[in-house]
Chains A and B, each alone.
Chain A
Amino acid sequence: MGGTMSGASNWNAERAAQIINEHLGLEGPMLPILHALQDEFGYVSADAVPMIAKALNLSRAEVHGVTSFYHDFRHEPAGRHVLKLCRGESCQSMGSEELARKFLAGRGLEWGGTTADGDLTVEAIYCLGLCACSPAAMLDDELIGRLDAETLAEAVDTVSI
């Protein structure tokens, strides 16, 4: 899930243990734990894997299998801001691919890449449920519809420092 990366705190095993513990009363606590860890730290640290495995009585391989299966979970910190550009068919019908290609080229990025100054990570997303106002994007927690090159650049420049 999105979230301003600038709000993320540095990895802290004690805090991670606390987060894991808070979720142990749930049925099927794995995904809630992973989301909570990512919300707190901006990514799911490899150091968290053995901790989760122990708490849930699973092997490390099983936990690793889960964290690597889902597109949402990052394995390293992202840039201070995360831009998710929609690549679903509806957005494609309104020129999202061309828009993305130019935007990425302009910033010297590939999909999933982070700018050299660590300011912006650009990720692909497949539908934000904003298909009647395509092309769409999510910049940190902010949704943007009917994007064009101008509004996209403006939005990104507004959050950048």
Chain B
Amino acid sequence: MTRLFIPKDAAALALGAEKVAAKVLAEAQARGVDVEIVRTGSRGMLFLEPLIEVETAEGRVGYGPVKASDVSSLFDAGLLNGGAHALGIGRVEDHPYLKRQTRLTFARCGIVDPVSLADYAALDGWKGLARAIEIGPAATIAEVTASGLRGRGGAGFPTGIKWKTVSEAPADRRYIVCNADEGDSGTFADRMIIEGDPFALIEGMAIAGVAVGATRGYVYCRSEYPHAIKTFNEAIAVARAAGYLGPNILGSGLAFDLEMRTGAGAYVCGEETALLDSLEGKRGIVRAKPPLPAHKGLFGRPTVINNVLSLVAVPHILAKGGEFYASFGMGRSRGTMPIQIAGNVRFGGLFETAFGLSLGEIVEDIGGGTRSGRPIRAVQCGGPLGAYLPVSQFDTPFDYEAFSKKDALIGHGGVVVFDDTVDMAQMARFAMEFCAIESCGKCTPCRIGSTRGVETVDRIRAGVKVEENIALLEDLCNTMKFGSLCALGGFAPYPVTSALRHFPEDFAPRHAIAAE
């Protein structure tokens, strides 16, 4: 019996993994050979998906990207013994794309069967939770604080401090809420980990529960991720049946249980207070702070709300110690960041590494430049509210503070590459349009300003009173930046002003006329 591994990660499925798996099975049957196909998450080398791996004496050997029509020739080449083939990449873990990474959060993703407890336990699963239970709430929070972990959802707030606040808030009940809304274009790390290693999120949330004295958790996942939702619900059922969730987790006498909830296509529901309102069954309108969710969160109770990646970093931090995690990174950005390389790029995928790589290294060395083969012109970091960086800023290190010095965002770690055919005035328009579509409507600068922004960019592109309208647009951006309650209206100006500053030629009248 030979074991084969084929991802069922959504991106692999979108590239035909299901057909490939069916073909492999059919081919094996036709040839009378015995194979077991394990469906895994993705390794994150999305340019190689669908990637087939075969277990051999030398380790797991890979082939990709495989089309169903390649399968027969793969068998001819001795796929089951790791035979040579044009699609062969050798031992998967030796692939330079993986070798250059530091995988802490994504250590198991793409390797294990996502809902196999045996696989999870074999690769250090539940060790963090066991230790949290052993050392107790205060010491658990101290480990997370020592790790220097900052929220991976965008704002970069220290996770340990958030947990401490919740643990100290008097309450009859506390909640753990996981933000799996992942609305930023260019990001897919939350999706990948939920599909590829869901027990890690369950363990992270259980640790948070132990740390702050919460017995109930919710994962709020965007509806655009049906596969993640399905896998996670399976994982919850398996974990509960085995006593990792429920009234007596790991025999500790402590209770913790979880439920997954589905969002409904509103970007603003990624904002933590809008998310809480949405979970409560209301419209997703941003709440004014204070009170902080840590004091009055879900149903008015003290609530830890953290991004998926923040929570998945925690089991590792508890198992290996906060100091170990903190030994990676630079400045006040400690640990690793799962960077998502996307857009018009040759080697798109997930690249987890310590903070500090330069943007140029990320998109050129690792990403391999554009997929179109044309020169890179701009890179948008941090999603729809993040700045566009020009090539002249490629020396910027991937670090919260270094980015913020350039009026840019790391956000959730998405990096979207554009080639030289991009029209930056059009991208500025889109930023405003997106804000108008997704605004929760609570503040005027965001709700009305964004629509005015679209109209103003349209006038500029049409060559109407260009200088005046550019001044107006900058003014509008300022009003939104300082007059909005949350970062949707507050940050939507960043892509606009960065486009104006770094690519002024795209707003010039000559260009507007030439483009029409």
Contact = CB atoms under 8 A, between A and B. Distances in A.
- On whether the two chains bind one another, the answer is yes
Given A93-B422, A132-B46, A127 B184 contact: yes
Nearest to B417: A93
Interface string A20-38: 0000001111111011000
Contacts of B261: 28, 31-32
A132 B419 contact: no
Interface in A52-94: 56, 65-66, 69-73, 88-94
Nearest to B422: A93
B51 to A, nearest CB: 13
A89 B264 contact: no
B98 to A, nearest CB: 15
Interface in A123-140: 125-134, 136, 138
A143 interface: yes
A89 B14 contact: no
Contacts, number: 156
B225 interface: yes
Contacts of B427: 89, 92
Interface string A113-130: 000000000000111111
A136 B223 CA distance: 16
Given A70-B284, A91-B185, A93-B343, A129 B191 contact: yes
B371 A131 contact: no
A143 B9 CA distance: 11
B279 interface: yes
A105 interface: no
Contacts of B49: 133
Contacts of A127: 183-187, 224
A125 B2 CA distance: 41
A131 to B, nearest CB: 4
Interface in B375-433: 380, 384, 414, 416-419, 422, 427, 430
A8 interface: no
A89 B281 contact: no
B283 A94 contact: no
Nearest to B46: A132
Given A1-B262, A30-B282, A93 B418 contact: yes
Contacts of A146: 14-15
A60 B336 CA distance: 48
A132 B339 CA distance: 12
Contact of A28 (B185, B280, B348, B350): B280
Given A32-B261, A90-B416, A143-B13, A130 B283 contact: no
A89 B430 contact: yes
Helix, strand, loop or mixed for chain B's interface?
Answer: mixed
B11 to A, nearest CB: 5
B186 A89 contact: yes
Interface residues of A, number: 43
B452 to A, nearest CB: 21
Contact of A132 (B264, B280, B284, B340): B340
B126 interface: no
A143 B380 contact: no
A69 B284 contact: yes
A126 B340 CA distance: 17
Nearest to B47: A132
B348 A129 contact: no
B24 interface: no
A134 B15 contact: no
Given A1-B262, A34-B264, A130 B14 contact: yes
Contacts of A26: 259
A109 interface: no
Interface string A94-112: 1000000000000000000
A71 B265 contact: yes
B157 interface: no
A50 interface: no
B490 interface: no
B267 interface: yes
A47 interface: no
B278 interface: yes
A70 B341 contact: no
Of listed A89, A91, A126, residue having the most chain B CB within 10 A: A89
Given A32-B261, A89-B427, A141-B226, A130 B343 contact: no
Of listed B182, B263, B342, B418, residue having the most chain A CB within 10 A: B342
Interface in B187-208: 187-188, 190-191
B344 A93 contact: yes
B328 interface: no
B342 to A, nearest CB: 4
B214 interface: no
A31 B434 CA distance: 23
B342 A131 contact: yes
B223 A90 contact: no
B492 to A, nearest CB: 13
Contact of A35 (B227, B264, B422, B437): B264
Contacts of A65: 283
B145 to A, nearest CB: 30
A6 to B, nearest CB: 17
Nearest to B378: A93
Contacts of A30: 280-282
Interface in B31-48: 46-47
Given A28-B281, A70-B283, A93-B418, 16 more contacts: A1-B224, A30-B280, A56-B281, A65-B283, A66-B283, A69-B284, A71-B264, A71-B265, A72-B263, A92-B427, A93-B416, A126-B437, A127-B187, A144-B14, A145-B11, A145-B15
Interface of B: 10-11, 13-15, 46-47, 49, 182-188, 190-191, 223-227, 259, 261-267, 278-284, 299, 340-345, 348-350, 371, 380, 384, 414, 416-419, 422, 427, 430, 434, 437-438
12 contacts: A1-B224, A71-B265, A72-B223, A90-B186, A92-B427, A93-B343, A129-B191, A129-B224, A132-B11, A132-B340, A134-B343, A134-B344
